[in-house]
Amino acid sequence: MAAIAATILATGGGYWLGMRNGGSEQSAALVVPQPATAPAGAKKERKLLYYRNPMGLPDTSPTPKKDPMGMDYIAVYEGGEDGDESTPGSNNLIKISTEKIQKLGVRVAAVELRPLEKIVRAVGRIEPDERRLYTIAPKFEGYVERLHVNVTGQAVAKGQPLFEVYSPELVSAQREYAIAVQGMQAMQEAGSEAQSSMKRLTEASLLRLRNWDISEEQVKALAKSGEAKRTLTFRSPVTGIVTEKKVIQGMRFMPGEVLYQIADLSSIWVLADVFEQDIGLVKVGAKVRIKINAYPGKLFEGRVIYVYPTLKAETRTVSVRAELANPGGLLKPAMFAEMELHVGDKAQVLTVPDSAVIDSGTRRIVLVQFKEGRFEPREVKLGARSDNYVEVLEGVKEGEQVVVAANFLIDAESNLKAAVGGLSATSGQAGAVATDAGSSSAKPAISGHHAEGKLDAIDAKAGTMTITHGPVESLKWPGMTMDFALANAFLMGNLKPGATVVFDFVERNPGEWVIVKLEGAGAARPSSHSGH
């Protein structure tokens, strides 16, 4: 009855209003129920444009599909929040407030073209140039009558007397040559056959003296005077340093016995051990710079002259020989040396600072900044490396800005592991990738787990913690004690064993559990983690 009465009242009221406005049937007919309009604050339904690749690759589809990894393509709508959907890959954007960016200390650098020169460093030692080593070893038996150089390490000049020797054989050879020379002069008017025989005898005597390293000056003096000398002086064949002295005045020596060793150190070698992975970059003729501990701040320059053909199995290194000048004799054999070899291509390639790359072990990612507080995780393909830069073959363009500092903190802050879908324990099941930390337009896939417990031990060097935690509902785990890695050592703060902690963690690799958020007395708090 109440419903019928309400209907009658509504009909009568409408008729009364119509009559009041115009007083005619025509006016009453204008009072027609109008369709309800949406409230001013209601969100207008967006138009679906297409589905894009979840990893930001240039691949779209008009219908839902999956990529080769089993991840669903992401819907892209017309307009969208803040107009971000107009940017390729924007559904994957990480959004962080300006305040948090300042707290994290985020810095960016441009993707640039530059020659990728690399420095290969190796440890070596100074060695004498083997081609500049000389030994003094008489080829006849004799006795040392007198020493002119009697100290190891003494510097000698070329032609400087070293010692004097007496040898019966040498005296006999001198007399034989002197007689042959006199005979040649006496038989100048004899027949040709007699002169020829005497000439052969003279040449044989002279050859014997020369084979014993008798100098030309001494031979000429003997031929001129015709008198054999009792002793003969041996002189230094080169300017250098006496590195070995075995001779003692009055001693007897035998043919071939080494009495002195002299090294010319005006040019020396550096033998360095280069690691196996770098040896392919080292070429003969490459310039090297040598640092010696004895002369801090001083650089010596030379060139690679030889790469040894064998590898040392114990150290996995290959010896490389460099040659350099040694003015003033500053470089001394057996000194340790640090060798720097400048290698690499002079052509310009697309590069980013090596600190910009986040390496998960299976993929390499950089964070590209579109504008303040907007970052896109983008997978890249890398090439050659230098000390501070790495070549990028695919994934970024010249001029784009990439994060080079605090990228790992952004990783923890925004749950980047879920955004790229490769490091989560349940990423294979997730149908959509998280679009933004704290975004209301899409719900992120489950990527983290929450637990509470007591901190048992900290290994700061390894970046791990041992925690006894309670049950973990999302994994159906009972309480247990286990080791966790830290996404960043900054999370450790001033925590001490025994502290009660609350933490979020993910599975980066099978069996590898990583803490991405940590709270407790002494834990670091860079900013809130809205993405977990």
Tell me if 92 is assigned to some domain: no
Within 10 A of 152 (CB to CB), how many other CB atoms are there? 13
Tell me if 184 is assigned to some domain: yes
Tell me if 386 is assigned to some domain: no
pLDDT, tens digit (0-9, with 9 covering 90-100), for 490-516: 788 888 899 999 999 988 777 788 888
Tell me if 235 is assigned to some domain: yes
Which of 263, 286, 309 is at the close of a domain? 263
Identify the CATH number of the domain in which residue 510 sits: 2.40.50.320
What sign does the CA torsion over 156, 157, 158, 159 have? negative
Pick from 81, 103, 211: nearest CA to 529: 103
* Same-domain pairing of 213 and 310: no
Residue 487, SS3 per DSSP: coil
Pick from 318, 289, 290, 283: nearest CA to 304: 283
* Same-domain pairing of 183 and 286: no
Residue 385 neighbours by CB under 8 Å, 6+ apart? 116, 118, 354, 391
The residue with greater pLDDT, 346 or 503, is: 503
* Same-domain pairing of 192 and 297: no
* Same-domain pairing of 483 and 525: yes
Tell me if 38 is assigned to some domain: no
Report the mean per-residue pLDDT for the chain.
Answer: 77
* Same-domain pairing of 500 and 516: yes
Tell me if 489 is assigned to some domain: yes
> Inter-axis angle of helices 216-225 and 168-186, to 10 degrees?
60
Identify the CATH number of the domain in which residue 236 sits: 2.40.50.100
Residue 245, SS3 per DSSP: strand
* Same-domain pairing of 149 and 241: yes
* Same-domain pairing of 194 and 299: no
Please check whether residue 249 is in contact with residue 144, taking contact to mean a CB–CB distance below 8 angstroms: yes
What sign does the CA torsion over 501, 502, 505, 510 have? positive
**CA triplet 354, 530, 452: central angle to 5 degrees?**
100
Tell me if 42 is assigned to some domain: no
In the 8-state DSSP scheme, what is residue 451? E
pLDDT, tens digit (0-9, with 9 covering 90-100), for 168-213: 888 888 888 888 887 777 777 666 777 777 788 888 888 888 888 7
Q: What pLDDT does 409 receive?
A: 67
What would the mean pLDDT of 364-370 be, rounded to a whole number?
A: 87
Q: What is the CA radius of gyration of the chain?
A: 45
What would the mean pLDDT of 91-116 be, rounded to a whole number?
A: 79
Q: How far apart are CA 27 and CA 324, in angstroms?
A: 111
Please check whether residue 247 is in contact with residue 154, taking contact to mean a CB–CB distance below 8 angstroms: no
Q: Which residue has the tokens 């710079």?
A: 289
* Same-domain pairing of 273 and 307: yes
The residue with greater pLDDT, 132 or 184, is: 132
Burial 420-450 (b: 16+ CB within 10 A, else e): bbbbbbbbeebebbbbbbebeeeebbebbbe
Q: Is the model's pLDDT at 18 over the cut of 70?
A: no
Percent of the chain with pLDDT over 90: 30
What would the mean pLDDT of 272-289 be, rounded to a whole number?
A: 90
| Type and span of the H or E element at 282 | none
Q: Is the model's pLDDT at 359 over the cut of 80?
A: yes
Identify the CATH number of the domain in which residue 288 sits: 2.40.30.170
For residue 333, the one-letter residue type is P
Q: Which residue has the tokens 């363009």?
A: 397
Question: How far does the chain reach from its first CA to its final CA, in angstroms?
Answer: 56
Which of 237, 263, 289 is at the close of a domain? 263
Tell me how many domains the chain contains: 3
pTM, entire model? 0.48
* Same-domain pairing of 240 and 271: no
* Same-domain pairing of 204 and 215: yes
Residue 273, SS3 per DSSP: strand
Tell me if 116 is assigned to some domain: no
Domain range for 183: 130-263
Confidence of residue 84 (pLDDT cuts 50, 70, 90): very low
* Same-domain pairing of 211 and 151: yes
* Same-domain pairing of 136 and 237: yes
Which of 202, 235, 263 is at the close of a domain? 263
